[in-house]
């Protein structure tokens, strides 16, 4: 076998290059000539790349070792050549005067400043996390949790007042507009209606801005008081909560309480693994996905048990995550994204950036993701030359997901926002569907992020529709069960935390018969271990 390289072709400036590796495999007279594109620099491992080439071209397995060695040498050679060319271009630009010393110094200064600021922020965040974890596991935890609960009640109260006033304003505007439209031609003109509409818009925007200013000021004040409380409590000083839950008017509590609703659920214990089997708890649950995020309590004074559990495990290796199915628009304007945003707005986020700030960071990264996909297209082999290239989407595609962190939700620390499309309505999807592969990536990221309890939608939907018949639901559940079982068996090779608890969520309101069918299917697929009882005579 012989490996040689042709001249590299620059794709997108100095960022990446594609080198064509020419391989001659086999012995005379039967030789096979392959031209394989390899992106330089590459994060792919030579051994894995060799395995993929052998599978793609149906080559003999005994060639794997030599092919891996030749590919590794080729990649190292081309990577070194790539960086030499980069250095030569940089030196040439400096000699030509297109890049000056002052320009280089300013770039270094800017990057060092960004790095220093980032390191300081990370250091401050780590220090505060250690302090909070120490306080919440100390006798001062009662006062700390009471403070968090009082903050949530205060924000919920003011948000409820805002929603009430905005709703009343919208109703008044509707009545005024209906009256004005009916009077056009008699005592009003089209210009009068347009003027009224503009006045309504200004009034609505002013009302929204006024309440948003109040809520923002309250949240900033709560964040400052909360950090001071944690610092003082960690130092061992006696501190009292700046605000007591009793200070919140009981009259406003009907807007912030969530009634606990009965759910259908079944739990199982299984053992998975090829050699070293691990125990997992599986749970099938019929509920609204946002119900897992809301605090459920009947008392506005007592601290909800969910808040205690969430706070105690916030900075730990025992986190809870949930998969939320969303569209490709990164905002909180419509559908379940809007409802989720309203849940998050009910209390101040005291540990992480707010939801809108986190989504803004995601929006900034989308362009980088699209550019990376444009610069790193799937490899095209000679046998694929007749197939048309796959277009690169200008936004996130089905199977992609982004993660937000939360400390103000009931049973959730991390939310995996999974992008889905209408193809999930079909009954013909298989294990290679982008959303199924996306679930595997979610499980892998969750394991590496110390998530030990993960909730995912079993039917890959949060609501039921007409086409979701009994057979449709059973077929979809069987596919997801089998795929997740395979992913869970891979966990041992991923490292990170063990996924002790896996919750399969089905939409609330499904029939009892369907729920029991799905519950019966689960142990048959995962093969729940039952003890063998032997009676001795």
**346 within 8 A of 156, measured Cβ to Cβ:** yes
Decide which of 26 and 142 is more confident.
Answer: 142
Closest of 496, 495, 476 to residue 484, by C-alpha: 476
Which stretch of 3-12, 224-233, 299-308, 418-427 has the lowest confidence by average pLDDT? Answer: 3-12
Q: 122-136, pLDDT tens digit by residue? A: 888 889 999 999 999
Q: How far apart are CA 463 and CA 439, in angstroms?
A: 19
Q: What is the pLDDT of residue 380?
A: 60
Sign of the alpha-carbon torsion through 330, 333, 337, 341: positive
Q: Is the pLDDT of residue 396 over 80?
A: yes
The per-residue pLDDT for 478 is 94
At residue 9, does pLDDT exceed 60? no
Q: What is the mean pLDDT of the chain?
A: 82
Q: Quick one: pLDDT at residue 249?
A: 34
When pLDDT is averaged across residues 260-287 and rounded to a whole number, the result is 80
pLDDT digits (tens, 9 = 90+) for 14-23: 455 555 566 5
Residues 66-79 as b/e (b if ≥16 CB within 10 A, e otherwise) read ebbebbeebbeebb
For the residues 280-293, what does the mean pLDDT come to? 91
What are the b/e assignments for 104-138, b being 16+ CB within 10 Å?
Answer: eeeeeeeeeeeeeeeeeeeeeeeebeebbbebbee
pLDDT at 5: 39
pLDDT of residue 374: 82
More confident residue, 303 or 126: 126
How far apart are alpha carbons 504 and 461 in whole angstroms? 12
Q: What is the Cα–Cα distance from 217 to 220, expressed in whole angstroms?
A: 5
- Tens of pLDDT, residues 481-535: 999 998 888 887 777 778 889 999 999 888 999 999 999 999 889 876 555 567 7
pLDDT at 537 over 80: no
Report the pLDDT averaged over residues 391-397. 76
Report the C-alpha gap between 507 and 458 in whole angstroms: 9
pLDDT in tens, 422-473: 999 888 898 899 999 999 999 999 998 889 999 999 999 999 888 889 999 9
Average pLDDT on 103-129 reads 86
Mean per-residue pLDDT for 299-311?
77
pLDDT confidence of residue 102: 83
Sign of the C-alpha dihedral, residues 57, 63, 68, 69? Answer: negative
pLDDT score at 462: 92
In this prediction, residues 19-46 reach a mean pLDDT of 67
In this prediction, residue 242 has a pLDDT band, given cuts at 50, 70 and 90, of low
DSSP state of 25: E
In sequence order, what DSSP letters do the residues of 249-316 get, joined into one string? -GGGGGGT-------EEEEEEEEE-SSS-EEEEEEEEES-GGGGTS---S-SSSPPHHHHHHHHTTTS
Least confidently predicted of 3-12, 68-77, 480-489: 3-12
**Could you tell me which residues come within 8 angstroms of residue 225 by beta carbon, excluding any fewer than 6 positions away?**
147, 242, 243
pLDDT of residue 241 exceeding 70, the answer is no
User: How far is Cα of residue 48 from the mean position of the Cα atoms in its chain?
Assistant: 27
Strands (E), 152-226: none
Instruction: Please check the confidence at residue 285 and state whether its pLDDT lies above 90.
Output: yes
Q: What is the pLDDT of residues 313-346, one digit of tens each?
A: 899 888 999 999 999 999 998 899 999 999 999 8
Inform me whether the pLDDT recorded for 298 exceeds 60.
no
Question: pLDDT tens digits, residue range 137-182?
Answer: 988 888 999 999 999 999 999 999 999 999 999 999 999 999 999 8
Higher per-residue confidence, 4 vs 86 = 86
CA distance 120 to 474: 52
- Rounded (to 5) percent helix, strand, coil in the chain: 55, 15, 35
**Packing angle between helix 101-136 and helix 141-182, nearest 10 degrees?**
110
Tell me: pLDDT of 261 over 60: no
Give the model's pLDDT for residue 258. 42
In degrees and rounded to multiples of 5, residue 82 shows phi and psi of -60, -50
* Phi, psi for 149 (deg, rounded to 5): -65, -40
Predicted pLDDT at 256: 38
User: According to the model, what pLDDT value does residue 337 have?
Assistant: 93
Q: Residue 4 above 50 pLDDT?
A: no
Collapsing DSSP states into helix, strand and coil, what is residue 498?
Answer: coil
Q: Are strands 319-326 and 451-457 parallel, antiparallel or unpaired?
A: parallel
H or E segment and range at residue 178: helix 141-182
How far from 128 is each of 125, 135, 144, 261, CA to CA, in Å?
Answer: 5, 10, 14, 36
pLDDT(243) > 70: no
């Amino acid at each position: 076998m012989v490996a040689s390289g042709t001249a590299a072709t620059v794709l997108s400036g100095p960022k990446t290059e594609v080198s064509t590796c020419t391989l001659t495999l086999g012995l005379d007279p039967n030789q096979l000539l392959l031209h394989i594109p390899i992106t330089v620099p590459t994060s792919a491992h030579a051994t894995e790349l060799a395995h993929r080439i052998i599978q793609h071209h149906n080559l003999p397995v005994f060639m794997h070792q030599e092919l891996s060695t030749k590919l590794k040498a080729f990649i190292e050679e081309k990577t070194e050549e790539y960086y030499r060319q980069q250095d030569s271009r940089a030196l040439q630009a400096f000699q030509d005067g297109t890049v000056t010393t002052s320009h280089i110094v300013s770039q270094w200064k800017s990057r060092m400043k960004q790095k220093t600021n980032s390191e300081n922020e990370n250091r401050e965040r780590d220090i505060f996390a250690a302090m909070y974890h120490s306080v919440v596991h100390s006798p001062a935890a009662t006062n700390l949790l009471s403070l968090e609960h009082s903050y949530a009640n205060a924000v919920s109260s003011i948000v409820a007042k805002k929603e009430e006033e905005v709703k009343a304003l919208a109703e008044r505007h509707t009545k005024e507009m209906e009256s004005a439209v009916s009077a056009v031609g008699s005592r009003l003109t089209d210009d009068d209606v347009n003027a009224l509409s503009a006045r309504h818009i200004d009034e609505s925007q002013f009302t929204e801005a006024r309440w948003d200013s109040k809520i923002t000021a309250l949240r900033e004040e709560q964040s400052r008081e909360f950090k001071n409380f944690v610092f003082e409590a960690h130092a061992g000083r006696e501190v009292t909560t700046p605000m007591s839950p009793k200070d919140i008017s009981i009259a406003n509590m009907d807007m912030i309480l969530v009634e606990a609703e009965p759910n259908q659920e079944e739990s199982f214990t299984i053992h998975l693994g090829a050699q070293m089997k691990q125990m997992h708890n599986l749970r099938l649950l019929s509920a609204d996905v946002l119900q897992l995020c809301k605090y459920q309590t009947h008392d506005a004074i007592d601290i909800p048990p969910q808040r205690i559990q969430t706070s105690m495990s916030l900075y730990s290796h025992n986190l809870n995550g949930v998969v939320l199915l969303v569209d490709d628009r990164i905002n909180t304007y419509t559908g379940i994204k809007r409802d989720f945003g309203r849940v998050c707005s009910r209390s101040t986020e005291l540990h992480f950036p707010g939801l809108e700030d986190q989504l803004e960071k995601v929006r900034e990264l989308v362009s980088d993701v699209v550019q990376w996909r444009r610069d790193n297209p799937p490899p095209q082999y000679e046998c694929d030359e007749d197939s048309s290239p796959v277009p690169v989407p200008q936004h996130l595609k089905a199977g992609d997901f982004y993660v937000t962190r939360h400390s103000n939700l009931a049973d959730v620390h991390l939310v995996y926002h999974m992008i889905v499309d209408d193809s999930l309505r079909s009954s013909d999807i298989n294990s290679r569907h982008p959303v199924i592969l996306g679930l595997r990536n979610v499980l892998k990221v969750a394991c590496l992020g110390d998530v030990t309890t993960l909730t995912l939608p079993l039917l890959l939907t949060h609501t039921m529709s007409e086409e979701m018949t009994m057979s449709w639901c059973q077929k979809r559940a069987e596919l997801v069960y089998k795929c997740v079982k395979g992913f869970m068996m891979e966990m041992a090779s991923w490292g990170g935390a063990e996924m002790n608890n896996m919750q399969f969520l089905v939409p609330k309101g499904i029939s009892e018969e369907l729920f029991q069918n799905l519950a019966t299917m689960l142990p048959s697929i995962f093969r729940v271990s039952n003890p063998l009882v032997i009676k001795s005579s």
